[in-house]
Chain A
Amino acid sequence: MNPAVNKSEDTLNKYSFNIEGGNFNDAGTVSTRIKSILKQKGLPNDVVRKSAIVCYEAEINIVSYARKGTVNLTITAETVEIEVIDEGPGIPDIEQAMEQGYSTANQQIREMGFGAGMGLHNINSYSDKFDITSEVNKGTFLKMIINNPQSTKDL
């Protein structure tokens, strides 16, 4: 099933996708869409791959922990910018959550092959710039920037 796409009217290079918390069947569909959009735009394979990896982990986090979330994709000549905003429990201690191996995942998440405390760590290492803020009982905001070293023109 394709996730809902709301394409902004002011520019052709902004996309927004909604993600439903707890919907494990659809986890990964937004990343799949983003990958094909970036490929279609002719971005370098490495940029496409990094963007898909960070988005996939963020998507798994929303499905696993949040009520709902939104992924905003902005493509410029120099960067791919991915914002992930969720409504959920938030992260009380971001530093701890960023540690490799720290996880609060339940059995269902682990059975899918996630929840080993690698998600935020991977997001951090595959982004050229990564910002995270979170408020307990409100939600979490992630911003990942992947640089495009070849600077694609005519997007």
Chain B
Amino acid sequence: MKLSEIKEILNADVIVGEDKLDIEVKTAFGADLMSDVLAFAKAGSLLLTGLTNTQVVRIANVLDIAAIILVRGKKPPVETISMARNLQIPILTTKYILFETAGRLYSKGIVGCLEKVEPGSE
């Protein structure tokens, strides 16, 4: 699914990456705990989170995350926006809560980047 469709489904605003809306994504991961994002999010996935500090962008960069979706109407601070611009990582923000964001995307075909955490998930 294209990022432009995700923007429509979530009624999201694009904060960074207006020129990258044709990126294709199939999977997502959602968490506010960055240790879990590091441990479980996979390259090419969307990252759904409510955290807006620069760590989110740096981790997205290290993990090759396709785009960051901020939930619950969060607006990132300027440092986060400028870092995302430099690293060319799209940031969208939606007013939907994490549960609704995930549910709406799932019902349109986006799936988890992993289904369950089990020994060996790493």
Q: A residues bordering B, Cβ < 8 Å?
A: 25, 27-29, 31-32, 35, 45, 49-50, 52-53, 56-57, 111-114, 116, 118-119, 122, 125-126
B14 within 8 A of A: no
Report Cα–Cα, A33/B43, bound state, in Å: 17
Closest B residue to A112 using CB positions = B55
A-B contact pairs, 30 of them (CB 8 A): A25-B54, A25-B79, A27-B55, A31-B62, A32-B58, A45-B43, A49-B43, A49-B63, A56-B59, A111-B53, A112-B34, A112-B53, A112-B55, A113-B32, A113-B33, A113-B37, A113-B49, A113-B51, A113-B53, A113-B55, A114-B34, A114-B55, A116-B33, A116-B36, A118-B33, A118-B35, A119-B35, A122-B38, A122-B39, A125-B39
Interface size for B (C-beta < 8 A) is 22
Q: Which residues of B contact A32 (CB under 8 A)?
A: 58, 61-62
Known contacts A31-B62, A32-B62, A49-B43; decide if A56 and B38 are in contact (CB<8 Å).
yes
Residues in A neighbouring B49, C-beta threshold 8 A: 113
Give complex CA distance A32, B59 in Å.
8
Enumerate chain B interface residues (CB-CB to A < 8 A): 32-39, 43, 49, 51, 53-56, 58-59, 61-63, 79, 122
Instruction: Specify which of A27, A50, A116 is in contact with B35 (CB 8 Å cutoff).
Output: A116
